[in-house]
Chains A and B, each alone.
Chain A
Amino acid sequence: MSNTVVTPDALVHRSTSAAVRQTLALAKRSTLELFRQPALVIPNLIFPLFFAFLGNSSFGKTTSLPGFPKVNSYLQFQLAGTITQGVLFGSVTGAAALATDIENGFFDRLLAAPTSRISILFGRIAGSTLFGALGSAVFILVLLPFGADVSAGLPGIVAMIVSGGLIALAVGALMAWVAIKTGSSEAVQGTFPLLFILLFFSSAFFPRETMTGVYKTIAGLNPISHLVEGLRALSLDGFTASATARAILVPLAIAIVALFIANRQLQTRLRAN
């Protein structure tokens, strides 16, 4: 019988490694959940692609209008909008799954178990982030042969995939805040029209330079415009430091704020429990 002395440092180290393992396990669960329900995931890939091809045929002639950036095709311009659209809708699906966990009691079982609290949030968002990155890769690969060139080349494509993942992280965290606050998957799904409105009042489908008046102001204030334009800079301007910084740093900054808000909401819920 020997007494083992556990130092506070070792406890912190152990709890950190446990939290990482639990986050990874929950991330695996949320990712598998998305892949095992193709009916939930496939529309998030099909619809943005449909809109991209539709837009290419509808607005193909508009690329010569004054104010439109220099592009090879409308698809090249639209690529960033398509990625953002797919990622936004995918994030709603991920957050709705978190709300479903709360509704069906799985969330409470996780709380009853010796699970790191933060892993419950991060594990769920990690699934959406991975899906966002994979979805971005799918959109680029499908649209590339049809004229959606990426001026930044392979490094640019990698940066766009990372940016897609970060956008998913940012939006996923915001949606997770809604899910934790309301505990209702219906409420999370109810934010879908709001995202749709934000998307259409942004520069996702047409450049801000071609808009006028109040629409231009709204698009300028709309964070979706800045997310899309960061990605678009890689697609149109090439692999420059400023383009990469815009594509990575803008969603990263939003993600940090969103994660902070979501975590605070989680703490509030835990205190209430």
Chain B
Amino acid sequence: MTVITNENKSSHLMTNDMHSTTMRSSWQLVKRGLINTRRLPSAFFPTLAMPIFNMVSFSGTFFALTKLPGFPTDRSVNWFMPLGLAMGSAFSGVGLGFSLIRDLENGFYDRLRMSPTSRLSLIVGPVIATWIRVTLVTIIVFGAGTMLGARPTAGVLSYLCSWIAAIGISTIGAGWCIGLAFRFQDMRGAAIMQLSIFLTMFLSTAQVPMSAMTGWLHTVARINPITNIFRLSRSGWVNASDPGHMSWSNAYGGLIALVILSALTLIFALRSLKKIDN
């Protein structure tokens, strides 16, 4: 009986040790990611430039879209700022995939795998670092959007929903790109990362609402879960009279899509990592 208790204690201690190792290792990898951002701003710059460029160019070029009957907002920047944020967040995942490929190619990752670190931390750490970077980008994009004339229609909740969507998309992007990086282990994976994310984003309501779409895109966007995420992200930026305005019914679909896609892509990343170990 005593032995069993000791075994239980020992197993409990081991679990605790494992958790604390995971946390410690994750934190070190978060720190490494953030230090890299500070020391290599050129690597971070595209993640920041992309959403701002998207927002500015789309708002100006496609300004006339707001004149379409039933368009959800009369400010084009209100419509395209969440698109810019989503693209920036997704591509921060691609950036993570790229740096992972570099680590795999130059042998740094092998050293990580040989060290007594928890496997989970190799995924959790970089994902948390991505969240921090995406939050920074989101704040800058909100500032730039405000200067360009973006105005929230649901107060603080407008910013909160867009930020949640950005964090969720970055998690999905990170999980997917980490998984692909582990599978390919070289730059072949990079092209698939960019292409798949680009296609998934644009085959949704990224550019125009469902009511403005015609033909095949309407069908594809309707079943694309990214459409729900855009609905969540934009719910605080469309006119208060629009059916897509901030409400639980416009939010829960996006939240469910974020949770399910994040879980699936992170599982994909974990399974791909195990495949390397095996």
Q: Which residue numbers of A lie inside 8 Å of B, CB to CB?
A: 50, 53-54, 56-62, 65-68, 193, 197, 200-201, 205-206, 210-215, 218-219
Shortest C-beta distance, B75 to chain A (Å), equals 13
Assembly CA distance A60 to B202 (angstroms): 16
B136 on interface, CB distance cutoff 8 Å: no
Assembly CA distance A58 to B216 (angstroms): 10
Closest chain B residue, CB of each to CB of A68? B64
**A54-B202, A58-B208, A59-B208 in contact; A211/B64 too (CB < 8 A)?**
yes
SS class, residues of chain B in contact with chain A: helix
Q: Name the interface residues of B203-241: CB closer than 8 Å to any CB of A.
A: 203, 207-208, 212-218
- Cβ–Cβ < 8 Å partners of B217 in chain A: 54, 57-58
Closest chain A residue, CB of each to CB of B53? A197
Q: Are A58 and B207 in contact (CB under 8 A)?
A: yes
Residue among B53, B61, B68, B207 making CB contact with A65, cutoff 8 Å: B68
Q: Are B64 and A67 in contact (CB under 8 A)?
A: yes
Assembly CA distance A206 to B207 (angstroms): 13
B67 on interface, CB distance cutoff 8 Å: yes
Interface string of B23-50 (1 = CB under 8 A from A): 0000000000000000000000000010
Residue among A59, A66, A68, A215 making CB contact with B60, cutoff 8 Å: A215
Q: Which residue numbers of B lie inside 8 Å of A, CB to CB?
A: 49, 53, 57-58, 60-65, 67-68, 199, 202-203, 207-208, 212-218
**Total number of residue pairs linking A and B with CB closer than 8 Å:** 69
**A65-B67, A65-B68 in contact; A57/B213 too (CB < 8 A)?**
yes
Assembly CA distance A218 to B49 (angstroms): 19
Assembly CA distance A62 to B61 (angstroms): 13
Q: Are B64 and A210 in contact (CB under 8 A)?
A: yes
Q: Are B67 and A57 in contact (CB under 8 A)?
A: no
**A65-B67, A65-B68, A66-B67 in contact; A58/B212 too (CB < 8 A)?**
yes
Assembly CA distance A176 to B203 (angstroms): 35
Assembly CA distance A214 to B56 (angstroms): 11
**A54-B202, A57-B218, A58-B208 in contact; A206/B61 too (CB < 8 A)?**
yes
Q: What are 11 A-to-B residue pairs whose CB atoms are below 8 Å?
A: A58-B212, A62-B212, A197-B57, A200-B57, A200-B61, A206-B61, A210-B63, A211-B60, A212-B63, A215-B63, A218-B60
Q: Are A206 and B214 in contact (CB under 8 A)?
A: no
- Cβ–Cβ < 8 Å partners of A197 in chain B: 53, 57
